């Protein structure tokens, strides 16, 4: 699989570390922490997910990937994804 890093360009997925769904936000307190740690949506379709470009620019990026066919429709730096 090739991942389009916003800084480096298209690279082999082996250069990256996978973290998973980008949607969960750490709650302020204990309320909702179980869900944050354990519960994931697992959609069949587009998913925004975090990848770390360990062997490249060493940045977290947010990739939008269709889980049914691995078609990647976009990638931005994670720091820019957090509005």
Partner 1 sequence: MAEALLIEQRKGLALASVMARKGVSAQDLGKAFGLSALPEGPRSARIDSLSFWGTGPGTWLAIADRFDPGWPQRLEQIAGRLASISDQTGSYALFRLSGNGARTLLQRGAAVDLDPQVFGPGSVATTVIAHIGAIIHRDEAGYDVAVFRSYAESFRDWYDSVAATV
Applying CB under 8 A, the residues found at the interface with partner 1 are 7-9, 11-12, 14-15, 55-59, 77
Question: In the bound complex, what is the minimum distance in angstroms from residue 49's beta carbon to partner 1?
Answer: 20
Give the separation between CA 36 and CA 21, rounded to whole angstroms. Answer: 11
> Rounded CA gap, 41 and 23, in Å?
9
Within 10 Å of residue 65's Cβ, how many Cβ atoms? 20
- Of 53 and 65, the one with the shorter C-beta distance to partner 1 is 53
Residue 24 or 56: the one with the smaller Cβ distance to partner 1 is 56
Q: Give the nearer residue to partner 1 in terms of CB position, either 14 or 45.
A: 14
CB count, 10 Å around CB of 46? 15
């Amino acid at each position: 699989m090739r991942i389009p890093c916003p800084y480096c360009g298209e690279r082999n997925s082996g250069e990256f570390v996978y973290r998973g769904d980008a949607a969960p936000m750490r709650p302020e307190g204990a309320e909702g922490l179980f869900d944050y740690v354990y519960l994931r949506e697992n959609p069949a379709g587009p998913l925004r997910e975090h990848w770390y470009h360990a062997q490249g620019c060493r940045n977290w990026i947010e990739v939008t990937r269709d889980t049914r066919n691995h078609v990647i429709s976009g990638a931005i730096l994670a720091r820019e994804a957090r509005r």
